Structure 1
Amino acid sequence: MVDHLELLQTVIDTTEPRTLAEFYRKLLGYVYRLGDEPTGVGEADDPDWLVLTDTVGTRRLAFQQVDQLETTTWPSNEVPMQMHLDLTVRDSGEFERQRQRVEELGAIVLFDRTNDEDEPLLVFADPAGHPFCIFVVS
Structure 2
Amino acid sequence: MEYPHLLQTAIDTTDCRGLAEFYRELLGARYRPGDEPPADGSADDADWLVLVDDDGTRLLAFQQVERLERTTWPEHDVPMQMHLDLTVPDRAELERHRGRAEGLGATLLLDRTADEGEPLYVLADPSGHPFCIFVG
Return 5+ residue gaps in structure 1 as ranges. none
Equivalent residue, structure 2, for 1:70: 69
Match runs of 1:114-125 below 5 Å: 114-125=113-124
TM-score (norm. length: structure 2):
0.97
Equivalent residue, structure 2, for 1:18: 17
Secondary structure at the aligned position of 1:80 is classed as coil
Shift of 1:41: 5.6
Match runs of 1:21-60 below 5 Å: 21-40=20-39, 42-60=41-59
Moved over 2 A (4+): none
For this pair of structures, how many residues does the alignment match?
A: 136
State the Cα deviation string for residues 21-80 of structure 1 (Å, max 9, x = none).
000000001100110000126320020000000111011100001100000000000000
- Between the aligned partners of 1:89 and 1:72, the Cα distance in structure 2 is 25
Contact 2:113 2:120 in 1 (8 A): yes
Return 5+ residue gaps in structure 2 as ranges. none
- Between the aligned partners of 1:74 and 1:19, the Cα distance in structure 2 is 22
Q: Percent identity between the aligned chains?
A: 67
Moved more, 99-108 or 41-50: 41-50
Contact 2:13 2:68 in 1 (8 A): yes
Secondary structure at the aligned position of 1:67 is classed as coil
